[in-house]
Amino acid sequence: MQNQPLSPVPPMGWNSWNTFYDQISEELICETADAMADKGLLSAGYEYLIIDDCWSMRERDQQGNLTADPEKFPHGMKYVADYVHAKGFKLGLYACCGVRTCAGYPGSFEHEFQDAAQFAEWGVDYLKYDNCHRPASIPSEILCRRMGMALRNCGRDILFAVCQWGTENVREWIRSTGAQTFRSTVDIQDSWKSIEKIALSRIEHPCSAPGCFDDMDILVAGMYGRGMNPETSMGGCTEEEYRTHFALWATLGSPLMIGCDVRTMPEEILALLTNRDLLSIHQDPECGSCYKAAVYGNPDAFVLVKPLRGGDYALGFFNFSDVPANLTLNFWDLGLSAVSGRGLRFHDCLSNQDPGIFTEQFSVKLPSHGCGVYRCQVVGL
């Protein structure tokens, strides 16, 4: 097992739940691995392929082991892991701390060490651990620590991704479980209102830190309302809204787990998900937290400020209103006074253009639900 942190920066990958729901299979996972490699998603940093709920048989076998559904995974889970690994990816799998998973399959309650050993034997690299159907008398804090201990002693490095939904003051104890990521929000839906609600809740309670990242849930960018999951697939979003969605998740440092069908994703979505400037902000080694800066122009618009390694700053301008907005940021609200003799050199991460050097303030006009993200360097004048 390695000595370095399992996830020094927020993890990236793909998850089956949003689009495919219970319609998962060996063929789908292998085709997704092929497509992600061919489209450059692996080289962009998306290394985990996560099989969500509904992969197992409805009951454990006679030895109490979880077994993959042979109709969905005829060659077994070890075969899938080997295929994914051969492509350069890592395999993620789903389990739950309760007696049943959210979809009614066997949970890991009182089977934590047995299941962790099984996952390690199969070659699993990532465990999404959900919070359904657990005994009401046992706090999820205890159950997460149980699985955390089991994973740390299973003989294989397995990233522990707790899906806890933000209940029971999870931010206060999650790091003590050994988790590398934790869900602190409700499930996402393929709609602007859902994106907005999750983003605003996360901005008000920032909690990400190196080694344990606040997960804002799976990306819906590129779904366009076509998913099979009735809980997730709403009416879809516009391309502008998907752009803002991805920019928010990247700037705030959430794990980036693609949720659309990568085999058929449009070129504009592929370009968005592989935007090098946005991903460099997301993967910045300092993993700094954002703060919200005041802007002038619209009460439903704001700027997120994120310090980056080497002295640069990421500035994300976001317009959550239903009408276009002119946003003005005064640099003294960032700590950069007019008498400092310094300004900011702006690089537009979405257009790959360089607007130039600005002093005292910067203004931008954004469409409804639109955004602008800039990497800024402090320069002498």
The answer to whether the beta carbons of residues 114 and 122 sit under 8 Å apart is: no
3-state secondary structure of 366: strand
The answer to whether the beta carbons of residues 107 and 131 sit under 8 Å apart is: no
Alpha carbons 33 and 290: distance in angstroms, whole number: 33
Alpha carbons 223 and 228: distance in angstroms, whole number: 10
Alpha carbons 18 and 50: distance in angstroms, whole number: 12
**Burial zone of 79 (CB within 10 Å; 0-12 exposed, 13-18 middle, 19+ buried):** middle
Alpha carbons 24 and 51: distance in angstroms, whole number: 8
Q: Is 187 a catalytic residue?
A: yes
Q: How many CB atoms lie within 10 A of CB 338?
A: 13
CA torsion through residues 261, 264, 267, 270, sign: positive
Of the listed 52, 53, 69, 130, which one is catalytic?
A: 130
Q: How many CB atoms lie within 10 A of CB 339?
A: 6
Q: How many CB atoms lie within 10 A of CB 28?
A: 17
3-state secondary structure of 81: helix
3-state secondary structure of 38: helix
Alpha carbons 247 and 146: distance in angstroms, whole number: 35
Of the listed 22, 34, 157, 187, which one is catalytic?
A: 187
Q: Is 217 a catalytic residue?
A: no
Two tokens, residue 59: 């009951």
As annotated, the active-site residues are 130, 187
